[in-house]
Amino acid sequence: MHINTVNTQPYNDQKPGTSGLRKKVAVFQQPNYLENYIQATFDCMGDYAGQPIVVGGDGRFYNRPAIQVIIKIAAANGCRQLLIGHNGLLSTPAVSHLIRKHQAFGGFILSASHNPGGPDKDFGIKFNIASGSAAPEQLTDAIFARTKKIDHYFYASFDDIDLNNIQHLQIDNLTISIINTVTDYAQLMTEIFDFKLLKEVIKSKSLSLCFDAMHAVTGPYAQHILESVLGAPSGSVINAIPLEDFGGCHPDPNLTQTRRLTALMFSENAPVFGAASDGDGDRNLILGNNFYVTPSDSLAIMAANAQLIPGYHQGLSGVARSMPTSQAVDRVAQYLEIPCYETPTGWKFFGNLLDAKKITLCGEESFGSSSDHVREKDGLWAVLFWLNLIARKNKSVKEIVYEHWHKFGRNIYSRHDYEALDLILATTVFKQLRDKLSTLPNKEINGYVISDTDEFTYHDPIDGSHSKNQGLRIRFKDGSRIVYRLSGTGTVGATLRIYIERFTQDATQFDTDPQIALAPLIAIAEKLCEIKKKTGLTKPDVIT
């Protein structure tokens, strides 16, 4: 192959966020924009020559062209082996698993997760390291620094690789393997869950289900595992074909975006179990017959019942949650007498705890949960966990949740998202709230007395690193709390997320709608930051 040295100029906006670099497709299509970022990553990766590198994405628009760029830059930089998903598809948890299984140096994941896809929508790229975890801040900071100085990249000249056929190719010293998308991941799931039991209950029709793949990457995985292997009726997986624009839908597995699934699950003909996953397959929505399980409750219930799952029958070493996630799992950890860690939002913060074997399960309120089987959140894993739990307990989703609440109490919880806000306005609102935090303790608002406030800083117990400015916390003397965060997962403006939580052991409140039960705290949240007043908005864009 011929290696070209291509002169380039740096861009100043290539700083990765908690989930890599996310921009509009048009930004990535600028001359040398993607090439600069890939070369900067190779410049900072270290000695990768003798180990495989995994490449795959969620199939969104620009996925295939980006893979061809990665292949040619990898070849030009001396990479010797690439493992690429069939049709360019690999879910994020599948990439993590492949890295670990094949002892790869790392992997490129092409995705903007739950963000919309299409020519005028979003694209993203991130690099995962040899443990299967997303790159730590030390590496992403180094990559960003390199992008600001880069003046050339290396590019190999050969025809584009056919991604449509499973095959092995040799180009000089580079081996390229186009591999089956689902086989390795499906095998891993059989090692964790009781597939024999699941086949029996599905065959008996006592466990009916509907899984919404949202025209995203989990479609092939879900059809293979749920329908082909476990025997769910054909059509149990809906929106199963991955599309570059996700069928014009927003692949975020929440009650707002999964309208077809939600309508079914809250109808008279609802199956026993419903679920969805997002663009790259790492998030999950869990539903029962006319019942919604919050991600925070889902994590707590999985932790409380993990011993019923074959892969976790020996117990848990510990659990972890992101700071804004409800404290429901904390109560389970206290009962089980195991550690519970509170981390910033961003899955990479769980990586050190998992590698050090401090935790077995982890999750965050933004529809993500997983375990030590990979180093990413895993949507289909959570679905199989719940299916296994339903089959083992022989109870409905609602019965399982209420059983949990009667034992541990209910953390009534909700998240309000104000999306695509003007960046300056959102930043100003956030700064004004931060500036008055110290004046709030001991104040009474709507009958709630504020006990303390702070801006969350995380001290990593494994590597000693510190992560500051991770969200504003307002706690009340009855244990309730409000959390504010500016989210970095979007590509336009800013998203302000407000998390509201209070605890009750009063069983008469178990049926209460969270928006009603939390109404006084929701009013306090608005009074403190005045986001509606300052934007003119009448309600959040998304409520979960």
Q: Taking Cα atoms as reference points, which of 238, 17, 277 lies closest to residue 140?
A: 17
Dihedral (CA of 177, 180, 181, 184) sign: negative
Residue 101's Cβ-side half-sphere holds a number of Cα atoms within 13 Å equal to 15
Q: Is 298 assigned a catalytic role?
A: no
Amino acid type, 509: Q
Q: Which residues pair with 494 in a beta bridge?
A: 421
CB 294 within 8 A of CB 287: no
For residue 158, count other CB atoms closer than 10 A to its CB.
14
Q: Which of 19, 91, 96, 113 is catalytic?
A: 113
3-state class percentages of the chain: helix first, strand second, coil last, to nearest 5: 35, 25, 40
- Given a contact cutoff of 8 angstroms between Cβ atoms, the answer to whether 209 and 177 are in contact is no
Phi (first) and psi of residue 78, to 5 degrees: 90, 15
**SS3 string of 343-404?**
ECCCCHHHHHHHHCCCCCEEEECCCEEEECCCCCCCHHHHHHHHHHHHHHHCCCHHHHHHHH
| CB 448 within 8 Å of CB 480 | yes
Active site residues: 113
